[in-house]
Structure 1
Amino acid sequence: MGNGSLQSSLYEVAPDVIDIPEMCTCNGSLISDVFDNCTAEEMKARVILSPKNSECLAVNEEILRMLPTENKTYLSTDSVSCDNDEEAQNYPMEFINSLTPSGMPPHRLNLKIGAIIMLLRNLSITQGLCNGTRLEVIQLHEHSIKASIISGSQLKPSDANIPFVLHRTQFPVRLSYSMTINKAQSQTFDRVGIYLPKPCFTHGQLYVAFSRARAMKTVRVKVQHLNDSTHDHRGRITFTRNIVYTEVI
């Protein structure tokens, strides 16, 4: 998979696709497949990976609703800046609040005691509080969060799709039951779900997702039906694109 030499049964039709082993295919709920029948401690070593940030946000909120503890919501304070001050008035606050660019917490941050979160910026490298560190929520206060490390102020993202700079004052964390494939690099989990509503879109992305698990038997893959020649189900075969630029290997 990593070097692009793994061929699919559909190689003649689409040479850049691979078959997902039947033992890894999830036909039901991926969340249940990954997180059901496990203890709170075991949940810390399980994750669902997906190519896009928006998909991870939705999965995280669904899993949070399953926790029995009380929900606490933190709302951010947002503003925007543009080259032209008058242009900044064109963006309603409801629209600004609805944005969650990559690397930023949501405007409406829902948390529960016992939830797994990820730090989104470097707070103290010497103490292991770095961008990407996963933590478990211990206590939730009005103006602070107490959490313990599991693993490895204002935020201003750079997003080419947003024509202004978004200033967001919010706790620099987000839920981490699900994360993007790119964010999961260098981490290893006991059980990994791979959610693919659409195919992976960058070099080696699918390989990175599969390699986050310790063994093939601990991987579950959910592929959406798109009736796409590179990403779908055909009979008992599930397949998806595996983008590898062999010229860079």
Structure 2
Amino acid sequence: MRLQGNQLGTHLEELRNFANWILAIGDGNIGRSIDDTETIPIPNDILINDCTDPISAIVDSTYPEFYNYSNDLDYPQQRKILASTLDMVDSINEFMVSLNNNPENTYLSSDTVCMSDHYFTALEHVHTSKFLNNIKCFGIPNHSITLKVGVSIMLLINIDQLSGLCNGTRLVIIRLGDRVIEAKALSEKMAGEKIFIPRVSLTPYDARIPFKFQRR
């Protein structure tokens, strides 16, 4: 859905075919088992061969001449890297941030067990702040995130759906404050518009976590 959001014409059909291929892999309709190992053929046009550093190779392939287009909003709008695990997302994000020469700003979250949880009184003594800070799951940023002006980010919640500020909306940072981030939208509908992202409280819904906690 995110890949196809701003595309038209023949390129959209190409992306649909790619999406259907990914879905077919997930549904187990592509590939075969050899000696108890599942083997899936990868089309040559999406393979990156002869690389010693996979993350550097995929970034170079997706963002060629990155430094020459760092101030061009159209450049990141047409390019995205999708990753299958949170650890890979973190590795790629760290590498992309390292390519930016602007001063960095590190933000730390405030994590607490939700007051609405029936076991709150007991949990607050068992699950310390340090333990909560180490939790990584879908739908919330990590406890510590390092950002720079010019870095691309993505919304994880719906802030203003009518304006297009929804989960998955991509932006590029133009100013970092202590309590607010100023950014420009990359989506075609709002491209170039200034957005202010305040501090918000998020509660992840992950079946692997047997209690509710809040990350601000």
Q: Distance in 2 between matches of 1:25 and 1:117?
A: 26
Structure-2 change in CA distance of 1:55 and 1:120 (3 Å) = same
Structure 2 residue aligned with 1:87: 123
**Helix, strand or coil at the partner of 1:33:** helix
Aligned positions, number: 168
Displacement of 1:24: 2.3
Q: Does 1:33 align with 2:49?
A: no
2:109 corresponds, among 64, 71, 76, to: 76
Q: Distance in 2 between matches of 1:14 and 1:22?
A: 24
Displacement of 1:23: 3.5
Matching residue's letter, 2:181: I
Q: Distance in 2 between matches of 1:137 and 1:131?
A: 17
Structure-2 change in CA distance of 1:90 and 1:7 (3 Å) = closer
Gaps of 5+ in 1: 170-249
- Counting aligned pairs with the same residue, the percent is 29
Q: Distance in 2 between matches of 1:133 and 1:60?
A: 17
Structure-2 change in CA distance of 1:156 and 1:23 (3 Å) = same
Matching residue's letter, 1:66: L
- Give the TM-score normalised by structure 1: 0.60
Matching residue's letter, 1:146: E
Structure 2 residue aligned with 1:53: 86
Displacement of 1:102: 0.5
Gaps of 5+ in 2: 1-20, 52-56, 189-199
Structure 1 residue aligned with 2:208: 161
1:131 corresponds, among 135, 148, 167, to: 167
Structure 2 residue aligned with 1:113: 149
Do the aligned partners of 1:7 and 1:15 also contact (CA within 8 Å) in 2? Answer: no
**Helix, strand or coil at the partner of 1:64:** helix
Residues 147-186 of structure 1: matches in 2 within 5 Å? Answer: 147-151=183-187, 153-169=200-216
> Looking at both structures, which has the greater relative contact order when contacts are Cα pairs under 8 Å and sequence separation is at least 6?
1
Matching residue's letter, 1:157: P
**Helix, strand or coil at the partner of 2:61:** helix
Structure-2 change in CA distance of 1:124 and 1:94 (3 Å) = same
- Give the TM-score normalised by structure 2: 0.68
